[in-house]
Amino acid sequence: MTSTDQAPTKAGFVAVLGAPNAGKSTFVNRMVGAKVSIVTHKVQTTRARIRGVAIHDETQIIYVDTPGIFKPRRRLDRAMVAAAWEGAEDADVRLLMVDTPAYLSAMTGGETRDNAAARRAAEDTDRIIKGLNEASAKAVLVLNKIDLMPREKVLAVIDKLNEDGQFEQTFLISAHRGTDVKDVQDYLVEKMPESPWLYPEDQLSDISDRLMAAEITREKLFLRLHQELPYSLTVETEGWSRTKKKDLRIEQTIYVERDSQKALVLGQKGATVKIIGQQAREEMTELFGTTVHLFLFVKVRDKWGDDPARYREMGLEMRD
């Protein structure tokens, strides 16, 4: 086949929207085939827009993993929600990811205290649909976590979410298990416009190694700590160098807002931060393909959430 006979290349952006904990990052990692966004069981884990790049034959798809869209309370919340909507504005395709069992629970579970999280997720999802409607923006509905519920119960959710005719297509998947994600991939390949590839063939993400290292440590903190503390901390990679043996030396600072939070991160005699550092170092060693020496420091920075420099580090714009 001559070069003139080759199929044209295609490339485009897919914005992955959804309420917190809908499975957006798990989905993006699955579609890219590598970890480009951290994943925890806690909501609001993703703070910035992260682009993951996947190639299928002549088509390059750039997945934009956006922060969860929810009713913001803090300045950081407002910046995250604004980043999510901005990520959707210029996308070639918008996907709305839904935590299907949570949405069904909100529809049928009444007003019990145990159902509060599901109701919040459903309200956030409905808020996104309203925003898409107001912008006259079509989207694709992706009902996630269907492995956690009987298929016949999904029909009620499909009917409810498709009432306004906002969605061009509906898919049922399990991002965690990979169930039926190939159907979504094939659909997106068809939807991408003809274009030269926008990223080098070997690039999986636009996130820098320094920021990815900070995200890995933040993931371990989210998984290890409890209650509201994870939302009061941030991690910055402040040192990045090579040793004489060419090992990677990384120095990071975990910023918290109060001395009591610092004590929780450190743990008794530094035990907690030691475990977090070990887990983060092991993952970084695997990710970067070289021995990593990780040094963690914990510092109090009062109201770091009001510091413009912290927002720039996360790729966010501080909002009033």
The rounded distance, in Å, linking the Cα atoms of 87 and 67 is 9
Question: What does the pLDDT look like over 73-87, one tens digit per residue?
Answer: 666 666 656 666 676
- Mean pLDDT, range 108-122, rounded to an integer: 73
What average pLDDT does the structure give for the chain? 84
Domain spanning 209-314: CATH 2.60.40.150: no
Q: In terms of pLDDT, which residue wins out, 28 or 49?
A: 28
Q: In terms of pLDDT, which residue wins out, 79 or 250?
A: 250
Q: In terms of pLDDT, which residue wins out, 292 or 228?
A: 292
- Mean pLDDT, range 305-318, rounded to an integer: 62
Q: In terms of pLDDT, which residue wins out, 204 or 59?
A: 59
Q: Is the dihedral of CA 190, 196, 199, 201 positive or negative?
A: positive
Q: In terms of pLDDT, which residue wins out, 304 or 181?
A: 181
Entry pTM: 0.77
Q: In terms of pLDDT, which residue wins out, 189 or 260?
A: 189
Q: How confident is the model at residue 119 (pLDDT cuts 50, 70, 90)?
A: confident
pLDDT at 144: 97
pLDDT at 318: 56
The rounded distance, in Å, linking the Cα atoms of 3 and 114 is 61
Question: What does the pLDDT look like over 212-231, one tens digit per residue?
Answer: 899 899 889 988 886 556 56
- Mean pLDDT, range 260-283, rounded to an integer: 93
CA 79 to chain centre: 15
Token digits of residue 137: 């923006």
Percent of the chain residues topping a pLDDT of 90: 47
Residue ranges per domain, the chain? 3-191, 209-314
pLDDT at 213: 93
Strands 50-56 and 59-65 come out as antiparallel
Closest by alpha carbon to 142, among 27, 51, 65? 27
User: Does residue 171 register a pLDDT over 80?
Assistant: yes
Q: In terms of pLDDT, which residue wins out, 156 or 87?
A: 156
Q: What angle do CA 285, 291, 294 make, to 5 degrees?
A: 75
The values of phi and psi at residue 201, to 5°, are -60, -30
pLDDT at 115: 78
pLDDT at 319: 59
The rounded distance, in Å, linking the Cα atoms of 225 and 266 is 11
pLDDT at 114: 59
pLDDT at 3: 45
User: Does residue 142 register a pLDDT over 70?
Assistant: yes
Q: How confident is the model at residue 288 (pLDDT cuts 50, 70, 90)?
A: very high
Q: How confident is the model at residue 1 (pLDDT cuts 50, 70, 90)?
A: very low
Q: Which residues contact 300 (CB under 8 A, 6 or more apart)?
A: 255, 256, 257, 258, 259, 261, 262
Q: In terms of pLDDT, which residue wins out, 113 or 231?
A: 231
What CATH number does domain 3-191 carry, 3.40.1440.10, 3.40.50.970, 3.20.20.70, 3.40.50.300? 3.40.50.300
